[in-house]
Structure 1
């Protein structure tokens, strides 16, 4: 088990230490804006937050994920990795945590609005088949339709077996 956890920044890290690092770097307002946990909003203090996070597994996992992917900026894993709890995830050898991501309340609001817009767009396009890329993408070049021949303008296929191209 220890060999599996050597590449996880959460291994051996207590909840109090993690929360202290997050509060020291980000402050309570940014943590609330990012995580939407009321313990960071209404009369935030270390003791009350620790009590809530120890009792509430989903909230603790949310804080641990934030610590891994925003504070330590570890690379996102595969979908199989995201099935595991944050403390059970591992990372490849040689991957080290990077400097924390700088966040502001305004930046978080922008990211949340963009994510909501992307989600709404995905839901709107859900019934229209797969996304339009490559050959499926509509041609927007000017003159594209003019350069295409209509069926009436195309030459008939050659009936001469010696000249299959019709030229």
Structure 2
């Protein structure tokens, strides 16, 4: 059995993680927090995913930002999805 202690990344795809961050922060705020071109030059989910899959240091920074803001991101997205 896969026994995971509290791990906010467990079971979350990179696409879901990036989508939630973009919905919460937007690309301009993401580009200020993490200085990578995929957030500033013609940003899209697909181009961001392609870059992060090929660039481990950038992926680690994005995952760290997600973990740091895990509860805020999920609370905001849950409220948005429930129609509040």
* Residue aligning to 2:61: 62
TM-score by length of 2: 0.80
Rounded to whole Å, the distance in 2 between the matches of 1:50 and 1:6 is 26
TM-score by length of 1: 0.42
Please state whether the residue corresponding to 2:46 is helix, strand or coil.
Answer: helix
Between structures 1 and 2, the one with greater helix share: 2
1:12 CA displacement: 1.1
Q: Which has the higher contact order (CA 8 A, sep 6+)?
A: 2
Rounded to whole Å, the distance in 2 between the matches of 1:49 and 1:16 is 9
* Residue aligning to 2:8: 9
Q: Deviations over 1:132-160 (max 9, x none)?
A: xxxxxxxxxxxxxxxxxxxxxxxxxxxxx
- How many residue pairs end up in the alignment? 73
Rounded to whole Å, the distance in 1 between the matches of 2:45 and 2:72 is 24
Rounded to whole Å, the distance in 2 between the matches of 1:53 and 1:63 is 8
* Residue aligning to 1:99: 72
Q: Deviations over 1:15-72 (max 9, x none)?
A: 0000000000110000000011110000001111100000111100010000001x21
> Structure 1: which 5+ residue stretches go unaligned?
73-97, 101-167
> Structure 2: which 5+ residue stretches go unaligned?
74-84
